[in-house]
Structure 1
Amino acid sequence: MAATATKKKSKVTLQPLGDKVVVSRDESQEVTGGGIYLPDSAKDKPSRGTIIAIGTGKLLDDGSRGEMQVKKGDRVLFTSYAPETISIDDEEFLLMSESDILAVID
């Protein structure tokens, strides 16, 4: 399943390999629970997002592919140190291993 980022005339398709996934990170909160507005410098980058593309699965010792436990469209929590940030046409994506995903959010 490929991730597609379109902007004006360019069209880029990301197809992760193996057990990798491409995630679109959720937006940072702009207001705290107490109603305080946060500047960009004070916002934490959330460690949650939506999967927009998945690889074919981990290559096993017998040559077969392991089935991915997540699917396109799943909302997930992931470790904050794991993802590789990729910018395409002013849009930011995260590339990470399936094992860096901690949970699927229902």
Structure 2
Amino acid sequence: MSVLRNIKSLAPLLDRVLVQRIKPEAKTASGIFLPESSVKEQNEAKVLAVGPGAFDKDGKRLPMGVTSGDKVLIPQFGGSPIKVGEEEYTLFRDSEILAKINE
């Protein structure tokens, strides 16, 4: 099995969405550092790559709900984890993405 050296070489298929969780802030706006135990894992992620979409029963491609660069809300559990070096990523189906965050 070959080791994935660069996440940019990974192209999701069908309705898969490649995301990376946004790391929670370890310090407050005023500069106070928070203990690691009080920093909860975020359910926010950035979309890095999106597949072309799944097919419907008539063979037409279904549009994806998110695009690369979107900020999204993902489930706490699930998805397929991928590790490249020290970085962690997750593949979800488009239908598993909970919401798109508009800023």
Same fold per superposition (TM over 0.5): yes
| 2:95 counterpart SS class | helix
| 1:51 counterpart SS class | strand
Q: Give 2:34's match in structure 1, choosing from 18, 34, 37.
A: 37
Q: Give 2:43's match in structure 1, choosing from 31, 42, 47.
A: 47
Q: In 2, Cα distance between the equivalents of 1:29 and 1:11?
A: 25
Q: In 2, Cα distance between the equivalents of 1:59 and 1:32?
A: 45
Q: 1:43 is matched by which residue type in structure 2? A: V
Task: Give the unaligned 5+ runs of structure 2.
Answer: none
Task: Give the unaligned 5+ runs of structure 1.
Answer: none
TM-score (norm 1): 0.78
Q: In 2, Cα distance between the equivalents of 1:102 and 1:88?
A: 25
User: How many aligned positions are there?
Assistant: 97
TM-score (norm 2): 0.80
Query: Which structure: greater strand fraction?
Result: 1
2:91 corresponds in structure 1 to 95
Q: Following TM superposition, by how much is the alpha carbon of 1:90 offset from its aligned partner in structure 2, in angstroms?
A: 1.7
Q: How does 1:1-106 map to 2 (within 5 A)?
A: 10-12=5-7, 13-31=9-27, 35=32, 37-39=34-36, 41-106=37-102
% identical aligned pairs:
31
Q: Following TM superposition, by how much is the alpha carbon of 1:71 offset from its aligned partner in structure 2, in angstroms?
A: 0.5
| 2:73 counterpart SS class | strand
RMSD: 2.2
